[in-house]
């Protein structure tokens, strides 16, 4: 028996045989060619086939993991059509008279290296996407593409790394969990694992020697146990059965109130990225939507979404929730979420740069279009709007002035709209320190713990090298949450948490005792949090 320590992506237990997955990277040889035109045609045909495959992958991911997570394949499709990428390949074929396989592989390597060496984290992350695209086209040119076949029996997949396309292609009914050597907790594949609810570990050195061996993934401790002895195997089989039993018991909580033992009602909402995620919200019985990430309406398009397109999305969400609260966050792009047609300048430190509300107040035509759509949609349900990356009272007053101007326009034009709460994201230390002043201006606060943690600790949350010291339980972070709650309540401003900490069951009781009014989590976390709420007594 051997134990390997890694980092858990998803808590849970998986028991089964290991299948070592090799990308089967082909040796690409440089060959001279005579017919340049024919070689260019080969490349174009392979590129078209790759585009078709990416479209099918998008449709498959859309059904299995939702619109937000499927969007990566639209990004791949756009990168496949990138002029610079294609011109480089064609130029190599024409000027050097070499085979398409070599031109694609060499260009892929060059571009991946170029992206990896950039200071911008978004472009660094695109390095792996470029490799994935190049390998796909080379595979088509070679006449070989991995089908994602895992065999007849469910397995634990072990691999050096997994691209999002590889993960999505696999038969989920045959995938018990996966273990990779590379990758970070914020990689696309890690996000897909959480969405698919598959136990996963990263940071474990794997090799073909593990192939066929019985193993256990312990998502709580972050361990991979290979060749467990009979006693350990019995122990984990019992844990697995208990995990399944607890999952079934959670279903009994559907329809129950989110109320503590001493009678405090908590708003238990869900986070979503698109209207396509609404089914998960309803299936998991959330009280409402605490975070609708509207930026995905922009990320999924090649041009600015129109007022009508946005209105239809927000209206659908409001109507579907049938009177339950739907809180829509206004456009939050910049940092790690880049949109080509916004033509944002490269920044040395984009996480602290031109992003979110800063873009909206600077480019007000974009902001006003979104606010008009939100105002119109507010007539169809219980809508709330919150503004991200706020650091000053002046920003809030500017926003409220714009909203009042639009309301007057609607009144003059006879366009119907409803009343909606306005709130702000508390995700910077600045916002925390003046939360007593901000609370006078808004109806609610929603604490974005992901950014609040990284700004408080001065740690880039996407840097895998810093995972070991990125401590979201840091006393400084918890004190900031407590301060925000206290300042909000003094001004009758309710306070929620919509960051990942909201779903951290080890802190649920702490948050309730702090006085947090609302927790907004991924849909699959709603029932586990409800269980804790209903078994917690706040008053000592």
Q: Give the count of beta carbons closer than 10 Å to the beta carbon of residue 395.
A: 20
CA angle, 152 then 155 then 158, to 5°: 130
Exactly one of 188, 360, 493, 525 is catalytic; which is it?
Answer: 188
The pair phi, psi for residue 378, each rounded to 5°, is -65, -15
Q: Is 103 helix (H, G, I), strand (E, B) or coil?
A: helix
On whether the CB atoms of residues 196 and 64 are closer than 8 A, the answer is yes
Exactly one of 76, 360, 493, 498 is catalytic; which is it?
Answer: 498
On whether the CB atoms of residues 95 and 36 are closer than 8 A, the answer is no
Kindly tell me the burial class for residue 124, based on how many C-beta atoms sit within 10 Å of its own C-beta (0-12, 13-18, 19 or more).
middle
* DSSP at 356: T
Helices then strands, counting H and E runs in the chain, come out as: 19, 16
The pair phi, psi for residue 14, each rounded to 5°, is -130, 135
525 an active-site residue? no
340: left (phi over 0), alpha (psi -120 to 50) or beta: alpha
- Residue pointed to by tokens 């509207």: 294
On whether the CB atoms of residues 191 and 69 are closer than 8 A, the answer is yes
Q: Residue 381: CB partners within 8 Å, gap ≥ 6? A: 315, 317, 318, 319, 321, 322, 323, 326, 418
Question: CA–CA separation, 508 vs 313, rounded Å?
Answer: 32
Question: CA–CA separation, 463 vs 477, rounded Å?
Answer: 19
Question: CA–CA separation, 414 vs 407, rounded Å?
Answer: 10
Question: CA–CA separation, 524 vs 284, rounded Å?
Answer: 6
Residues forming the active site: 188, 498
């Amino acid at each position: 028996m051997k134990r390997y320590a890694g980092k858990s992506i998803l808590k849970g237990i998986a028991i089964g045989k290991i299948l070592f997955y090799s990308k089967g990277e082909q040796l690409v040889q440089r060959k001279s060619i005579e017919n340049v035109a024919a070689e260019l045609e080969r490349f174009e045909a392979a590129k078209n086939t790759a585009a078709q495959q990416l479209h099918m992958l998008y449709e498959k991911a859309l059904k299995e993991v939702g619109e937000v997570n499927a969007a990566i394949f639209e990004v791949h499709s756009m990168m496949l059509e990138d002029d610079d990428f294609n011109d480089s390949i064609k130029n190599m074929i024409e000027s050097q008279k070499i085979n398409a396989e070599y031109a694609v592989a060499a260009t892929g390597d060059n571009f991946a290296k170029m992206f990896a060496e950039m200071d911008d984290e978004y472009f660094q992350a695109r390095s792996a996407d470029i490799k994935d695209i190049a390998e796909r086209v080379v595979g088509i040119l070679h006449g070989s593409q991995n089908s994602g076949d895992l065999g007849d029996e469910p397995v634990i997949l072990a691999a050096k790394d997994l691209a999002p396309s590889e993960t999505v292609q696999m038969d989920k009914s045959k995938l018990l969990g996966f273990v990779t050597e590379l990758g970070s907790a914020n990689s696309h594949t890690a996000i897909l694992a959480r969405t698919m609810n598959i136990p996963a570990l990263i940071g474990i050195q794997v090799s073909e020697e593990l192939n066929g061996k019985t193993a256990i993934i312990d998502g709580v401790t972050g361990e991979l146990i290979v060749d467990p002895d009979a006693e350990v195997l019995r122990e984990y089989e019992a844990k697995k059965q208990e995990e399944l039993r607890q999952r079934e018991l959670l279903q009994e909580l559907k329809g129950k109130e989110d109320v503590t033992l001493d009678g405090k009602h908590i708003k238990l909402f869900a986070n979503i990225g698109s209207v396509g995620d609404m089914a998960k919200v309803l299936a998991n019985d959330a009280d409402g939507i605490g975070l609708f990430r509207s930026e995905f309406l922009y990320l999924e398009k090649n041009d600015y979404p129109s007022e009508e397109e946005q209105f239809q999305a927000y209206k659908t969400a409001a109507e579907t929730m049938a009177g339950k609260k739907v809180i829509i966050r206004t456009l939050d792009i910049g940092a790690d979420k880049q949109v080509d047609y916004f033509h944002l300048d490269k920044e040395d430190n984009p996480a602290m740069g031109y992003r979110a509300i800063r873009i909206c107040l600077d480019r007000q035509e974009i902001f006003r279009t979104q606010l008009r759509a939100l105002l119109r949609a507010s007539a169809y349900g219980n809508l709330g709007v919150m503004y991200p990356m706020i650091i000053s009272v002046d920003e809030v007053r500017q926003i409220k002035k714009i909203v009042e101007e639009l309301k007057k326009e609607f009144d003059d034009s006879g366009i119907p709209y409803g009343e909606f709460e306005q709130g702000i994201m508390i995700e910077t230390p600045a916002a925390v320190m003046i939360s007593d002043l901000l609370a006078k201006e808004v109806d609610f606060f929603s604490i974005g713990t992901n950014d609040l943690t990284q700004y408080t600790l001065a740690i880039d949350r996407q840097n895998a090298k810093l995972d070991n010291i990125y401590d979201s339980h840091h006393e400084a972070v918890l004190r900031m949450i407590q301060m925000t709650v206290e300042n909000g309540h003094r001004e009758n401003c309710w306070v929620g948490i919509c960051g990942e900490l909201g779903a951290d069951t080890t802190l649920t009781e702490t948050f309730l005792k702090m006085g947090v009014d609302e927790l907004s989590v991924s849909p699959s976390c709603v029932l586990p949090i409800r269980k804790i709420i209903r078994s917690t007594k706040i008053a000592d």
